[in-house]
Amino acid sequence: MNVRIQVLMLLAVLLLSSVSGSMVTQVSDPGDVNRIFKDISSDTIRPGEHGTLTYVLHNPYPQSMTDVRLRVEIYSYSTLDVNKPIQEVSSPPRFVSSRNTYNSFIHPLLEPGQEITIRHRMETSRSTPKGVYFLRFEILFDYEGSEQLMRSKGFFTRDEWYHAERLPGEADRPYYSGSLNITYLGVNGIVPDTSFTVKTPIPRWPQYALGGLSAFFGVLAVMLYMQEEYDSFPWLEKTLDKWSAKFKEFRRGLDNRSRKV
């Protein structure tokens, strides 16, 4: 009787192990997972204005991805002094189409190698706090009859991520994809996070003005040298003498006024 119980327990453990390990498949290969989202970019948004999050959704696999369901979500806010979840931020940025801090996208079919560009319009108010906002991605799709779930790092707690990064023993290797225990995280792969900034840009005109003045005085210095050494710009010397005389006259006028006072 004891032998039968031990055999049944062993079979149960093996069955559970095979079910848990089934999450790590060919689809979980980091070399492919890292190419699902490409060319992610976002605007720097001035408070009260709009910006765009843009990325390319790509099928890196040899078979079709069907019933693709995508969710992108603003989940965290950070400055040099503050780091808090988006729920604690008053007047956070929102997606224009959903009027919320998250947005969804559905696409019925992605053929092998197919790419589509996705743009999410985001809006802010004048009271939106300035800082960095972090976005996380979740994507579900069917691949060869099996549903695949992939999430970015922002969906996991610090403790969950720390546990998933622990070096595997020989018995644990079937649950790992790359250096992460994705079976423990409950996903088939890890896709990237991204971020965007809300701030008032520094005006450009002082930079352009300084650059223009630097170029002007650089050229003037060369011309003065050429005039002194080779008499190349006699008109420049006359112009400088003229303005120098006017400046001296102006200073004499100021001195006379100061004496009268």
Percent of the chain residues past pLDDT 90, beyond the cut = 57
Residue ranges covered by each domain of the chain? 2-198, 208-260
| 2-198 homologous superfamily | Immunoglobulins (2.60.40.10)
169 has a pLDDT exceeding 90: no
Find out whether 61 and 27 touch, Cβ atoms under 8 Å. yes
| Per-residue pLDDT tens digits for 21-62 | 445 678 999 999 999 999 999 999 999 999 999 999 999 999
Which amino acid type is present at position 92? P
Tokens describing residue 181:
């225990």
Its pTM stands at 0.70
User: CA-based angle 227:228:233, to the nearest 5?
Assistant: 15
- Give the Cα separation of 261 and 247 in Å (integer): 21
161 has a pLDDT exceeding 90: yes
Maximum Cα interatomic distance, the chain, rounded to a whole number of Å: 123
134 vs 177: which has the higher pLDDT: 134
